[in-house]
Structure 1
Amino acid sequence: MFRRLAPVTVVDSVLAWLPKPLRSVMIRHRELLKFAIVGATTFVIDNGVWFTLKFTVLETKPVTAKAIAVLIAIIVSYVLNREWSFRTRGGRERHHEAALFFLISGVGIGINVIPPYISRYVLELETPHVSLLVQETADFVSGSIIGMLLAMGFRFWGFRRWVFPDQLGTRRRELADEHD
């Protein structure tokens, strides 16, 4: 009498918005799409924390504020990537996996803060050398776009290579296929 409807996932919702040729490419790269959705979520968290700290308690230390914001976003990223993006990969003991995740992410923090450091302290794109608008635009472009993209590329590569390697995920994939 009643038909059970298949649940619509976040990825399915995102894919529905894409044109058909792009949709087929993204279906083949579903893991990358999930990683990007996690990245968009942590991007919002990162910038929310960064700007909150930068305009309040760490007003004179914008690079420190950025590092703290990235650290908080990375903690959220671990949970989301482990439980969603790379759920069919891995298979290491949790403490080993977490240590590798945070090691790769720590390098990512270093990569992420290099562009705002260069912007502020090498190019001197800070007040009084430039206007407040130029300073804030340079901070956003260097920290939230350039730094984030460089770190994201490194983290995606590192997570797939060392933290959630495919060869350890065979059993997890079999279990996931049984539940899908």
Structure 2
Amino acid sequence: WDFASTVLGIGRLPPRTFRPYDTVISIPSRFTVEAAAKRFHGRPILAFFAGSPNSCARRRALRLYEGVPGFDVSSQIHNASEYHRRMLRSRYCLVLRGSSHTNSVRLYDVIAHGCVPVVVSDDFQPPLDRWLPWQDLAVFLPSSSLPRLGRILREEVGEERRRQLFRNLVLGE
């Protein structure tokens, strides 16, 4: 199945299409999927996160990885186009708990950019988890794993697993 078309509703139906037998869930995202999001190669950044340091996990990630080669982690983002460009250059995008408990909007933004989500949380409940095989779509790590994140992504998850997660997310394989 095609995740982007099924869940994000991208490319299948024109806007505001009514199907009496469907339940339509509006997914909040500032971005739409474009061809660049379907590019597996040409992503030189291992992991990306940009957001306010409004939780322990976010402050810790910023402290550990800001300025570290292979990571693009910052509390500063100048505009949506910069955020967009940085996600398209990244293999993994961190989904860290912020001031609100849910991170679904960031999760959808990450997916729309073809960036494999890395959910770092001890209690995150993914949306639509009864219907979506999230273990085949994202990497889930406990907060205690943050200091080992680079090694986990490079060695434990590895490139072949990233390729499979990417295919599941973007290509719907």
User: What TM-score, normalized to structure 1?
Assistant: 0.29
Structure with more helix by fraction: 1
State which structure, 1 or 2, has the greater radius of gyration over its C-alpha atoms.
Answer: 1
Q: Which structure's residues are more often strand, by fraction?
A: 2
Q: Which has the higher contact order (CA 8 A, sep 6+)?
A: 2
TM-score, with normalisation over the residues of structure 2?
0.30
